[in-house]
Amino acid sequence: MQNILKELYYCNLHQDEDMLLNDEEYQQAVNQSRAIETAFLSTLDDAGLELYYRLEIANAKQDSIESAYIYINGFRTGAKIMLACLS
């Protein structure tokens, strides 16, 4: 228990980002997505490409906000479970 509190204090607790990289189903989905994106981009003119890149930036910002919210909410749920175990 003391180790995890020390890791939390020093901000060393983080999600294991390498987990998905080793998942075969995830890799297949990424490869499929990239192939479709490449085919789609080849059909766009300059104006369409500019609009697509703006959409990608907006989606990345939205994903970042959603991921942070989900992470924080998961932490709160974990804390509620710990409190329930103690009561």
Left (φ > 0), alpha (ψ -120 to 50) or beta: where does 72 sit?
alpha
- Split the chain (87 residues) into runs of 10 and give each run's mean pLDDT: 72 69 89 97 98 98 92 87 85
pLDDT value of position 16 = 64
Count of CB atoms situated within 10 Å of the CB of 51: 12
pLDDT value of position 2 = 66
Nearest residue to 10 via CA among 2, 21, 18: 2
pLDDT value of position 27 = 92
pLDDT value of position 1 = 57
As for how many domains the chain has, the answer is: 1
pLDDT value of position 71 = 82
**28 within a domain of the structure (yes/no):** no
Q: In terms of residue numbers, what domain contains 65?
A: 45-87
**18 within a domain of the structure (yes/no):** no
